Amino acid sequence: MSTLIAIREASLSGNGGDYSPAKEKAANRGVYGARSPLLHRRLRLLVGGAKYKLILLFCLLTAIYLLSSKISPFMGWNLHYPSSVSSPSRGGYTVLINTWKRNTLLKQSVAHYASCQGTDAIHVVWSEVDPPSYKLRDYLKKMVQKKSQTAHKPNLRFDLNEEDNLNNRFKPIQDLRTDAIFSVDDDVIVPCRTLDFAFTVWQTAPLTMVGFVPRMHWLNEEKNGVVHYRYGGWWSVWWMGTYSMVLSKAAFFHKQYLELYTEKMPSSIQDYVSRERNCEDIAMSLLVANATGAPPIWVKGKIYEIGSSGISSLKDHSDKRNKCLNDFVSLYGAMPLVSTNVKAVDARHEWFW
């Protein structure tokens, strides 16, 4: 406005010629025309600014997130798993649940795994003195029928044992319709989508163990020709970025290892497990590694432990695991475990992978 006032004053005073409305109108157009390049420059600076880019990126990502579930079928993002996961012709998998006097947890576990599409059968390893009650059996059978989402309903069976022995969880099972065994504790819940993905991973390497709970070992010391190893838990795996075992509390393996564990593995290892009431999972990991010469496969996935206590909660658990590992290795005569840092990730559900 200051420029406009100056022009008008100059015109009225006679310095810019005689005053006329046309001259004033022309002067006004010139004033605003001169301001337009300035506005354009400011807009360009705003558009090119980092703040604007961040806002634009945030809006774009938000839109993609909100619309992905609606547009994914049209873009080829099929969130359903291949038919081989649930097709009886490909076998699916048998869920082998190890339980001990925790019927409430067992009910939750059976109900959940019955709802997974890949489940062909559910076997409960029962090692209590008293057999399961008819009430419990009927409840679980009804739950399987209710929760199953497939036309083929999973077969539920109790595998009864006369004594409490951790080796019971790896006894051979007659008339299995699947090659794949998913071994799981009664207090571990793996979401069905995660479980079915792990099954597809196992199908690519059916002779190895594929699981969700990695553990590791490392050479601790060697004195006078005697080698001593250390057993590493989850925090060791996280820190070192490597592992050599996946625990059978949540893992796939081929049914042939049930027979190998019971019939071919040195009986001294089974005796050790029976006596110490521990380390059957380490024994299975050594058995598979010794048979294949290959590492296991750790599948990234969230699992839920719904129990409150177990062997691993005992104070001297870590020391016992160290002793188990070294005693088993001495029985084998060498260390069969193979370390790896490979992890299987379902890229369809990861932003970064």
Helix axes 267-276, 280-292, angle to 10 degrees: 160
Our answer to whether residue 187 is catalytic in this structure is no
Candidate list 120, 186, 187, 281, residue with the active-site label: 281
Q: DSSP for 67-111?
A: HHHHHGGGGT---SPPGGGT-GGG--EEEEEEESS-HHHHHHHHH
C-beta separation of 173 from 180 below 8 A? no
**Sign for the pseudo-dihedral over CA of 131, 133, 139, 142:** positive
Residue type, 210: V
C-beta separation of 184 from 97 below 8 A? yes
Q: What is the 3-state composition of the chain as percent helix, strand, coil, each rounded to the nearest 5?
A: 50, 20, 30
Question: Looking at the chain, how many residues does it have?
Answer: 353
C-beta separation of 214 from 282 below 8 A? no
The span from the CA of 81 to the CA of 348, in Å, is: 11
Q: DSSP for 146-200?
A: HH--SSSPPEEEEEE-SS--GGGGG---TT---SEEEEEETTEE--HHHHHHHHH
Catalytic residue list = 281
